[in-house]
Amino acid sequence: MTDECLCRAFCVCTIIAVAALFPLYIIFQTVTMTPSGPHFYINEFYVPALDLSQHTASNNNNNQTVVINPCLFLDLAFVNIMLKQTVHYGDVNITLSHGRKAVASYVVHTFVQEHRGVEYRREVVESRGVPWESTKKAVSNGSTVVFRVDLATLVKFHSLNTKKKDVRIGADVEVDGTGLKLKREDIRLDSAASRRGVGIFVLFLSLLVTRPCF
């Protein structure tokens, strides 16, 4: 058998292996990495300082914009989709960021949620370190500003003999000149680790398929 035939046979076998293993990988990701039970959504997100309908005042002494309201308004929805499982939440730590910098944080204290229940937790937090001048300029020009919401907590299911599950999820939120999130639908917080796992797997498969034949 010539080297060319061996090369073709290798490539065909690789493609078959990829087609067979990828569904198994998806199942593995679903079972092991996607948080089972509760889902978490950003129902409302409002930044008054970026609401162009609101007035801002100017400080004549230092010629800088004075933000009337630097607070962030956040409404989170905790949705227990499980049929017969009560969920016990530990303290839920919420961190809000702009760019790579945390600008606000707060804690939703431990609570219990019945099956098929929906709990809303609304909070107003004062932000620190947001570059309001540049962000307001961005939305004034028709662009959007991105904030990040990260959630970390421990959950335990009442009728299952399981250990507490560590949940660390997050989502980006685009805000426009209304001060509201651009996406009017609820934004689901998900696992960044899961997305990284898929990316690494796809990269591995790409390298495998495109491996030079020798």
Weakest-pLDDT range from 20-24, 79-83, 131-135, 205-209: 205-209
H/E run at residue 39: strand 38-46
DSSP H stretches of helix in the chain: 3-32, 132-140, 192-209
What is the pLDDT at residue 202? Answer: 45
Check residues 12 and 40 and name the one with the higher pLDDT. 40
pLDDT surpasses 70 at 203: no
* Contact status, residue 176 vs residue 141, Cβ threshold 8 Å: no
Percent of the chain whose predicted confidence (pLDDT) is above 90: 54
Check residues 151 and 54 and name the one with the higher pLDDT. 151
Percent of the chain whose predicted confidence (pLDDT) is above 70: 64
Task: Work out whether the CA dihedral 49, 50, 54, 58 comes out positive or negative.
Answer: positive
pLDDT surpasses 70 at 144: yes
Query: Sheet holding 118-126: strands in order across?
Result: 118-126, 71-80, 38-46, 187-188
What is the pLDDT at residue 56? Answer: 52
**Coil vs helix vs strand at 64:** strand
For the segment 53-74, what is each residue's pLDDT rounded down to a tens digit? Answer: 985 544 444 555 555 689 999 9
Weakest-pLDDT range from 123-137, 161-175, 194-208: 194-208
165 DSSP β-pair partners = 155
pLDDT surpasses 80 at 195: no
Check residues 75 and 196 and name the one with the higher pLDDT. 75
pLDDT surpasses 50 at 95: yes
Phi then psi dihedrals of residue 145, to 5 deg: -120, 135
H/E run at residue 145: strand 145-157
What is the pLDDT at residue 33? Answer: 40
**Model confidence band, residue 37 (pLDDT cutoffs 50, 70, 90):** low
What is the pLDDT at residue 174? Answer: 98
